[in-house]
Amino acid sequence: MKPLTVLKALASQKSLTSRQHLPTRVTVLSAAALLVALAAPAASAHPGGAAPARIPFTQATVTATATPGTYEIAWQAPGVRHVTVEAGGRTVAGGGSAGRVTVTGLPAGADRQWFDLVPDHGRGLHLADRLVKLDGAVNFRDAGGYRTTDGHWVKMGEVYRSDSLDRLTDADLAKLRRLGIRTDYDLRMASERAAAPDRVPAGTTYVVADVLAGSGTFTAMPTTESEAVTMMTEGEKFMVSGDTAQAAYRQVFAGAVGGDGVLFHCTAGKDRTGWANAALLTALGVPRETVMADYLASNDYRAAANAAALASMPPAQAKVYKPLLDVRAAYLNSGFDEVREKFSSFRTYEKRALGLSPAELRTLKAELLV
């Protein structure tokens, strides 16, 4: 595993327990940007009047290995002399300002193994592997665990993203109930929902937030590879400016403001879900490079499933179909281009399309950032 990577993932259901969850890149601040972040005032005051301690970590990841109960933890915390790694209330490892340790012998059956990274000064981090291992889904992951440009971190364990939920097992449902999934936003079309109805834990609120909602997007199959690429880029634009898309994402963001245990998903967990998470992370202040890495990670999580689908087709058909299975930087960039073209700025998009007032945006950040 490379020191500057986060988010590589298991690509098929069978691999969830047999392959290492590899990470992908996280943005590293330049020295100048780091100085700005360290000098920036805290977003809120401590009840006693003093500013809360800043988080010194510029990078931190937890990665489950192929060996049950074994994890790799990596971090960078400039200016810190020592970092203690705790799990289950006990110290399991430690290191200096930059470290990479392997922790073994932890409970293999835990829903998620959480770690506390405690620096000798400043505020610590509470992290787990981003992937939530399920028998019936391959792309179920935590939306958090990322650093913002101003030195905050997106909390883990609050918002989740996923592919289809129709194949979840009873054990999966029990795990999601224990994880506190309270609201499930289904971004799929009516035909998808009818063919593969969601399975959600008892007590979870199910909300239809149909992004495409009867539009012509993604309804006719392309006949050439270039047509497939165009379909994906045009579809991404619709997710930004289409009326039904804006209405659907307003529902999701309204649920995220002041709520926890929020889950949103589509069929593959990469396009409609990908834009939802890209918009959320951008609104929270996560840098574009990190947003892109999170988006592109679906290629890794879904690699085996996609390869199997393509292998079942004649080569000519597979060539046309592959762009539909991929996520590509050009797809997400077309969405951000649409934001600039139709809304001038992302903040205007937040207000007009997502319905986020300045007060609601502050609430969202207060709920999801540390």
State how far the Cα of 237 lies from the Cα of 259, in Å rounded to an integer.
28
- pLDDT band of residue 51 (cuts 50, 70, 90) is low
Listed by start position, the domains of the chain span 14-368
Query: What does pTM read for this prediction?
Result: 0.84
Residue entry with tokens 């009873």: 170
Residue entry with tokens 């590509």: 328
* Tens-place pLDDT, residues 137-154: 999 999 999 999 999 999
Mean pLDDT score, 275-284: 98
Which residues, other chains included, contact 295 with Cβ-Cβ below 8 Å and sequence gap of 6+? 270, 274, 277, 278, 327, 332
Mean pLDDT score, 320-331: 97
| Average confidence score pLDDT of the chain | 87
pLDDT score for 28: 30
Tell me the backbone φ, ψ of residue 118, rounded to 5 degrees: -110, 110
CATH class of 14-368: alpha beta
* Tens-place pLDDT, residues 210-231: 999 977 766 678 999 999 999 9
- pLDDT band of residue 365 (cuts 50, 70, 90) is very high
Catalytic residues, by residue number, are: 266
Mean pLDDT score, 229-246: 96
- What type of residue sits at position 266? C
Q: Is it the case that residue 50 has pLDDT exceeding 60? A: no
